[in-house]
Amino acid sequence: MSDTVKVFFEGNTYEFPLIVGTEGEKAIDIQKMRQKTGLITYDPGFGNTGSCKSTITFMDGEKGILRYRGIPIEQLAEKASFKETAYLLINGMLPNQAEINRFSVLLNDHSLVHEDMQHFYQNFPRGSHPMGILSTMVNALRSFYPELKEVDEEINITVTRLLAKVRTMAAMSYKISRGHKVVYPRADLAYTANFLNMMFDSPVKPYIIDDDVVRALEVFWILHADHEQNCSTSAVRVVGSGRVNLYAAISAGISALWGPLHGGANQAVIEMLSQVHEKGIPLHRLIERAKDKKDPFRLMGFGHRVYKTYDPRAKIIKEWCHTLINKLNISDPLLDIAMELEEIAVRDDYFIENHLYPNVDFYSGIVLKAIGFPTSMFTVLFAIGRLPGWIAQWKESTDDPDWRISRPRQIYVGKPRSDYIPLEERD
Ligand code: SDX
């Protein structure tokens, strides 16, 4: 196989380097294309454009493969803790016992939030969406924790602070939004159990930690921990390329994740299924609307830019739906509706031809609902899970010798040159 790609244009032949990835993915390196040919490429949504070389996550959309640092998601979801997964993504290898112990101590040491931050929370209008609050408060962390002089220490402490505090900040936004007393992190609880306790413990009803509930949330976070150059990760990299501090770059990622086509889909799925349940909407009607090009309705939780087969994460989270609902002895009509909807959609020609299968969001909302989270918190939970991936990708970009400030070009299709018309001469 040649190590270059030839481009023929206006009678000339140009050669560009061919890049081949670990799993055989191929790319034409066009960094010098404009300089050599005057041409740029056009790729709205960057569906065919590699923004970087990365060693963190590998996805194969055709085969439904997802690996973090080479380890299959199925094995991590079965055997790893969320802390181990976060450490793996950020540091590139699974931690040994001493490393995971030190990581746990650091996460606990940094889990408190500056008391003055509560004033910010108190002044958000009631009913503010927790994603808007979280994005604002993460950005505000720089004001409370100024930059340290030593670069490596600044990065390591900032990374640990974010991982440790994001749970406390998320739980605070929930408690304060309900007018309840904030519950502080406890030194005797591990990462995930600590968060559940901060969310649901109250003086009138002490929260009982259930190991299956803890594991279900851990698996949810492991499944969401990273996903190559998705919309929110690209936002973190683009904003980070301006060399802003990590809090600001992560705040941009949270904002990007908020959208219903991205991280907001888990909330949108539950709202869609609830509508079906409450209004008795026939499922075939939903399928028809999803197929109608004149109708902007999308079947939430279906389809994916990369996966053209079943999202491997959806398979795992669907199993946890059943485990949790059986363990907690609850029945959820939305699960029954979701399973029936999947049955119909995966047999429909439109969905088959467009490779539209359930993605991770289709069933994750049912797990979160079974645990007791309000739908308004679902995307915040996605953000907590995705935080290690955002951090790992940001760190990789800052160490990347090829990395430059992000500044895409465009094709101008507006008006040709024209002169200014004084106000009095305009029609
Ligand atoms: C996440 O990038 C990531 O990795 C994201 C994520 C992560 O972990 O970070 O996996 C998390 O964001 C998952 C996706 C959550 N979003 C949703 O579930 C919202 C519903 N899904 C769609 O909006 C859509 O599938 C997207 C946004 C996810 C992908 O959009 P694309 O890239 O445009 O999909 P496509 O090119 O494969 O679509 C092919 C055709 C198109 O029709 P045509 O314009 O060619 O006629 O299928 C249509 C699409 O319009 N289509 C759908 C559909 N998804 C795509 N039609 C109806 N319902 C849908 N859900």
For ligand 1, which residues put their CB under 6 angstroms from it?
A: 227, 230-231, 261-262, 265, 290, 298-305, 354, 356, 359-361
For this structure, is 361 an active site residue? yes
For this structure, is 227 an active site residue? no
* 300, part of any domain: yes
State phi, psi for 358 to the nearest 5 degrees.
-60, 135
> How far is residue 266 CA from its own chain's centroid?
11
| DSSP element (H, E) containing 59 | strand 57-60
Rounded to whole angstroms, how far apart are CA atoms 126 and 253? Answer: 24
Residues 247 and 309 reside in one and the same domain: no
Mutation probe of ligand 1 site: the residue of 46, 234, 359 with most atoms within 8 A of C-beta: 359
| Ramachandran assignment for 200, one of left (phi > 0), alpha (psi -120 to 50 degrees), beta (any other) | alpha
Residues 21 and 130 reside in one and the same domain: no
Q: How many CA atoms lie within 13 A of 185 on its CB side?
A: 23
* 381, part of any domain: no
Residues 44 and 19 reside in one and the same domain: yes
Among 201, 304, 311, 332, which one carries the catalytic annotation?
A: 304
Among 201, 226, 311, 361, which one carries the catalytic annotation?
A: 361
Write the residue with the smallest CA distance to atom 49 of ligand 1: 354
* 177, part of any domain: yes
Angle, CA 43 vertex, CA 42 and CA 48 arms, to 5°: 130
Per-residue pLDDT band at 191 (split at 50, 70, 90)? very high
Contact 237, 51 (CB under 8 A): yes
SS3 29: coil
pLDDT at 155: 85
Residues 103 and 252 reside in one and the same domain: yes
SS3 15: strand
* 407, part of any domain: no
Over 90: is that where the pLDDT of 337 sits? Answer: yes
Residues 142 and 287 reside in one and the same domain: no
SS3 274: helix
Please state the domain count of the chain.
Answer: 3
> In angstroms, what is the span from residue 271 Cα to ligand 1's centroid?
18
Over 90: is that where the pLDDT of 110 sits? Answer: yes
Range of the domain at 12: 4-60
Summarize pLDDT for 33-85 with one digit per residue, the tens. 999 999 999 999 999 999 999 999 999 999 999 999 999 999 999 999 999 99
Report the CATH number at residue 320: 1.10.230.10
Mean pLDDT of the chain: 95
* 404, part of any domain: no
pLDDT at 127: 85
Residues 98 and 243 reside in one and the same domain: yes
Which two structure tokens, joined as six digits, stand for 151?
């670069």
State phi, psi for 15 to the nearest 5 degrees.
-115, 135
Summarize pLDDT for 244-279 with one digit per residue, the tens. 999 999 999 999 999 999 999 999 999 999 999 999
Report the CATH number at residue 125: 1.10.580.10
User: Residue 59's beta-bridge partner residues?
Assistant: 66
What mean pLDDT is predicted for residues 345-362?
94
* 331, part of any domain: yes
Residues 102 and 246 reside in one and the same domain: yes
Which two structure tokens, joined as six digits, stand for 267?
């909330």
Residues 14 and 103 reside in one and the same domain: no
* 66, part of any domain: no
Report the CATH number at residue 46: 2.20.28
| DSSP element (H, E) containing 27 | strand 26-28
- Of 273, 275, 83, 92, which Cα lies nearest the Cα of 189? 83
* 116, part of any domain: yes
Q: What is the pTM of this model?
A: 0.95
Summarize pLDDT for 160-171 with one digit per residue, the tens. 999 999 999 999
Write the residue with the smallest CA distance to atom 39 of ligand 1: 354
